[in-house]
Structure 1
Amino acid sequence: MSKVTILNDKFQNSGEMDLPASFAEVNSHNLYLYVKSYLAGIRSNTAHTKSRHFVSGGGKKPWRQKGRGGARAGSTRTPVWVGGAVAFGPKSDRNYTQKVNKKQKRLALEFALNEKAANGKLFALESLQIASGKTKDAAAVLKNTNVRDALIVLKELNASTLLAFRNLKNCYVVDASEVNAYLVAVYGSVIAEKAALETIISKEG
Structure 2
Amino acid sequence: MKIDVLNIEGKSTGRSVELPSEIFGVEPNDHAVYLAVKAYHAAQRQGTHKAKEKGEITGSTKKIKRQKGTGTARAGSIKSGLFRGGGRMFGPRADRNYNLKLNKKVKQLARASALSTKAKDGKIVVIEDFTFDNPKTSNYAGMLASLSAADKKSLLVLSEYDKNLLLSSRNLKKAQVVNAKDLNTFQILDAQSIILSEGVIEKMQESFA
Q: How far apart in 2 are the matches of 1:4 and 1:105? A: 25
TM-score by length of 2: 0.86
| Deviation (angstroms), 1:66 | 4.6
Q: Is 1:60 aligned to residue 67 of structure 2?
A: no
Q: Is 1:108 aligned to residue 72 of structure 2?
A: no
Which amino acid is the alignment partner of residue 161 of structure 1?
Answer: L
Which of 130, 133, 150 is the matching residue for 1:131?
133
Q: How far apart in 2 are the matches of 1:139 and 1:9? A: 11
Q: Secondary structure at the match of 1:25?
A: coil
* 2:9 alignment partner in structure 1: 10
Q: Secondary structure at the match of 2:155?
A: strand
Unpaired segments ≥5 residues, structure 2: none
* 1:32 alignment partner in structure 2: 34
| Deviation (angstroms), 1:34 | 0.9
Q: How far apart in 1 are the matches of 2:7 and 2:78? A: 73
Identity of aligned residues (%): 36
Q: Secondary structure at the match of 2:26?
A: helix
Q: How far apart in 2 are the matches of 1:52 and 1:82? A: 12
* 1:181 alignment partner in structure 2: 185
CA contact (8 A) 2:169 2:177 kept: yes
> Displaced runs of 4+ in structure 1, greater than 6 A?
none
| Deviation (angstroms), 1:53 | 2.3
Q: Is 1:154 aligned to residue 153 of structure 2?
A: no
Q: How far apart in 1 are the matches of 2:174 and 2:4? A: 21
Which amino acid is the alignment partner of residue 114 of structure 1?
Answer: S
| Deviation (angstroms), 1:110 | 0.8
CA contact (8 A) 2:79 2:85 kept: yes
Calculate the aligned-residue CA RMSD, in Å: 2.2
CA contact (8 A) 1:3 1:18 kept: yes
* 1:21 alignment partner in structure 2: 21
Instruction: Provide closer, same or farther for how the CA distance between residues 33 and 186 of structure 1 changes in structure 2, counting only shifts above 3 A.
Output: same
Segment drifting more, 37-46 vs 63-72: 63-72
* 1:168 alignment partner in structure 2: 172
Which of 25, 41, 45 is the matching residue for 1:43?
45
Which of 121, 124, 130 is the matching residue for 2:123?
121
> After superposition, what is the alpha-carbon deviation per residue over 1:81-122, rounded to whole angstroms, capped at 9, x for unaligned?
111011232222433221101111111111111111111111
CA contact (8 A) 1:9 1:125 kept: yes
TM-score by length of 1: 0.87
Which of 51, 66, 89 is the matching residue for 1:87?
89
Which amino acid is the alignment partner of residue 127 of structure 2?
Answer: L
CA contact (8 A) 2:28 2:116 kept: no
Instruction: Provide closer, same or farther for how the CA distance between residues 189 and 174 of structure 1 changes in structure 2, counting only shifts above 3 A.
Output: same
Unpaired segments ≥5 residues, structure 1: none
